Structure 1
């Protein structure tokens, strides 16, 4: 039976939407769940870190599993795991149970995210339809992060913190029913289904060590022995991982893909894109509440134009990519992101929202989605049969790990610089301005990469 590809996209995009939503929706509930479950100040950040750590560290494994076991099968398994652990998190009666549920929830997200992206590539042929599908995918992911703040505030105030997890359950149930009906099983299967066990262990361990080190840097500082040990150890393990991948017959990550300048630049570009967007989103959320006195819901509403701009930008990026090419869209997106961040870096606590913040939010929303759509199209253009999951895993890993690194840099460096500033409002404004300049640095490097990007073959545009 032939499935409608746009119905398939709806299922995949909604699944991606809730995984991104879950990254930000928890932030506004931390005070309530901390008081209810009696979290210590030291353990509370692990409500977020327990999810992001396996999410970022296991994406390569999830992408390769999609190639070997079938993308639809891995997607549905990850979705089921995500739903069950969402229910478990909502029912948690102790800090330990909640953190454990969040960790397994991150594993589910790491399975379904690259599998879903691979299914989009397998469902839509190269060209205009795939461009539109990738644009929708990227825009809903960005909108999910923005709406997470609004939805979290409304749910916590109206129903209690447990509903930030319970809300996932009916969505997951609906997707699990619709998925087998609307998503076609792939015809391709990897020959022999051999699995790179050594690569899986080394790649996962290296990424987990790097992401863990970055997370701990926010609390311990970059010079702490624990942080340095994790980062250096992670890099060494990843070096061994690359050496193993170069020699194995069925690698977790096909290294030959990086011989293509387009793939290599696309991965770096998406990593910088993640660093730019996630750091800006976090800094702005804090600034709106501490520097301008917004409530959590008001901050989410003020951030909403960024998400709306991303949705509209996705449509525009897909059309321009088809007519002009991915390279133009990538360059325009990087330039728009940089311009938006430079505008935001000049904002003070008493500036008008409409004239100061709004233009920067709109430019950034348009810019990040342009870079995302163009980067995904360029990278997938170099993928062969049976490699869509692996490429998707690399792209998603680049975005998540880049986002974690970017967020740590954009928050720790300004914090050290503004340590002597007196007053909550003044410190919040200075931290925001300095952090946004760090994010602008990421966007500037991304613009350089965009200038080096090759033209995408016309059949893929």
Structure 2
């Protein structure tokens, strides 16, 4: 293919990632205003931000398997159409229930898009630096879109209203879907030894529907429990919460048992248990989950800290988060270019340690100190690990799957990331709420809210310490990744 065609193949899915993450950032920065506009109860505050990850994470593996069977191109086109339609529906929402439902259906389209985009790039771009850059662009587009949503979304909120962000994003997605009909390559579907059976028969026999249902339902229920606890910590005592948590753990326990049965029976398994015996693969998945949880929790809690503790306006908060955007962009672009030249163990370890400085600075600062003392540097260091690990992690995971199942590889990687995001935000919120609920209001500026946010930042700091430990131990035998194959 020509360079122009390859560039378009990489840019189209990257644009969709960017626009979806842009709406996530716009919701995060405008949550108080949106909630007041549509009457969203405080107990449901986190649902507009978390429900997309919940629904997309629940069906990612199935979507990846389907894309490998019937072709990534058609799955990508349908997914982008879904995304565009329900992004517009978010802007048209009149009630909190309508917004949450539209965001949930957005997640369905996003789940179709994510694995298909990985498969399309892997099919069109040969292994080596070109593919590394392609994966880096897919990675760059998500945090970049979220950060731009935080900054530009705040300005749009003040000038044109929060609905405008959804109208613009949804319209651009639909336009991108139409353009993709001519730009996206026609990737050969199915394994190389696949029969000429109709596609519907292949879906019935070659997709592990039960396995996808087990892990998807288990992760979705667990994310739902975390969302409930993050809204009301007392709900942990209820029988409903306990039952849901037990159901989630049961389903997740059944998944490896089902994988074992599928492999022994000679049938297709979504994630064969043997993959977890690869220490680099297992460690990378854990690190991606931890880094995704930290970077998303950091952006959300920083935004709330600036607005609720320091009482800054939406526009000021957007500007204070701007360094996060700029640094994340620079890091991701450079990682794609140089990842095959640097020992991956030290690249990931150093990035985790630098990223750990971000929540550390936010945890120890005094709210009365100027922004430039510590908060600026916290935003500088915040995106380092997440952006490094996206490119490194996607390369490591994709290399463990055959070329004809790259959509499933993308689904595995993004499932880990989505779960890590839900787990990270939920866990940090639970810790913050637990600390806020203890003791009386103190005399320090910020009171209970300040104590809660500090506890959340300390939790993120611990997250990155564990992530660095996995990098040192799990990648000790890995030299470099993303090398060109001879």
The TM-score, its normalising length taken from structure 2, stands at 0.88
Unaligned runs of 5+ residues in structure 2 are: 196-201
User: Contact conserved, 1:78 with 1:110, CA < 8 A, in 2?
Assistant: yes
Q: d(CA) in 2 for partners of 1:270 and 1:446? A: 9
Residues 314-350 of structure 1 show CA distances to partners (whole Å, capped at 9, x for unaligned) of 1332333221233332122112112333233222202
Q: Which residue of 2 aligns with 1:282?
A: 300
Aligned-pair CA distance for 1:284:
0.8
1:313/1:455 Cα in 2 relative to 1: closer, same or farther (>3 Å)? same
Counterpart contact for 1:279–1:410, Cα < 8 Å:
yes
How far does residue 458 in structure 1 lie from its aligned partner after superposition? 5.9
Cα drift, residue 11 of structure 1: 0.7
Count of aligned positions: 461
In structure 1, the residue matched to 2:472 is 451
Can you list the C-alpha shifts for 1:102-159, whole angstroms capped at 9, x where unaligned?
2211111111122213322333222212222222222221121222222332223222
Tell me what 1:195 maps to: 207
Closer/same/farther in 2, CA of residues 33 and 294 from structure 1, 3 Å limit: closer
TM-score (norm 1): 0.93
Distance 2:45 2:375 in 1: 31
Structure 2 counterpart SS, 1:126: coil
Deviation at 1:292, TM superposition (A): 2.0
Report the Cα distance in structure 1 between the residues aligned to 2:231 and 2:482, rounded to whole angstroms.
48
Counterparts in 2 of 1:92 and 1:406: CA distance versus 1, 3 Å: closer
Question: Which residue number in structure 1 is paired with residue 461 of structure 2?
Answer: 440
1:269 and 2:287 correspond: yes
Match of 1:321 among 317, 332, 339: 339
1:23-422 alignment, distance < 5 Å:
23-43=24-44, 45-190=46-191, 191-192=194-195, 193=202, 194-221=206-233, 222-248=236-262, 249-419=267-437, 420=439, 421-422=441-442
Deviation at 1:45, TM superposition (A): 4.3
Q: Distance in 2 between matches of 1:288 and 1:38?
A: 23
* 8 Å contact kept, 1:260–1:382: no
- Residue 199 of structure 2 is matched in structure 1 by none
**CA deviation profile, 1:386-406 (whole Å, cap 9, x unmatched):** 221112111111111111111
SS at match of 1:133: helix
Between the aligned partners of 2:113 and 2:319, the Cα distance in structure 1 is 29
Residue segments in structure 1 that go unaligned for 5+ positions in a row: none
The RMSD of aligned alpha carbons is 2.3
Do residues 460 (structure 1) and 478 (structure 2) align? no
Q: Distance in 2 between matches of 1:82 and 1:362?
A: 31
Q: Which moved more, 1:390-399 or 1:153-162?
A: 153-162
Q: 1:337 to 1:189 in 2, by over 3 A?
A: same
Secondary structure (helix, strand or coil) at the match of 1:323 reads coil
Partners of 1:32 and 1:8 in 2: CA distance:
37
Conserved in 2, the CA contact under 8 Å of 1:337 and 1:367? yes
Is the CA contact (8 Å cut-off) linking 2:90 and 2:103 kept in structure 1? yes
Residues 74, 112 of structure 1: 8 Å contact kept? yes
Q: Distance in 1 between matches of 2:211 and 2:117?
A: 22
How far has the Cα of 1:228 moved from its partner? 2.8
Report deviation, 1:223: 4.2
Kindly tell me: are residues 59 and 41 of structure 1, through their superposed partners in 2, closer, same or farther at Cα, counting changes over 3 Å?
same
Q: What SS does structure 2 have at the residue aligned with 1:353?
A: coil
Choose 417-426 or 295-304, whichever is displaced more: 417-426
Cα deviations across residues 163-193 of structure 1 (Å, max 9, x unaligned)?
2321222211221122122221213423353
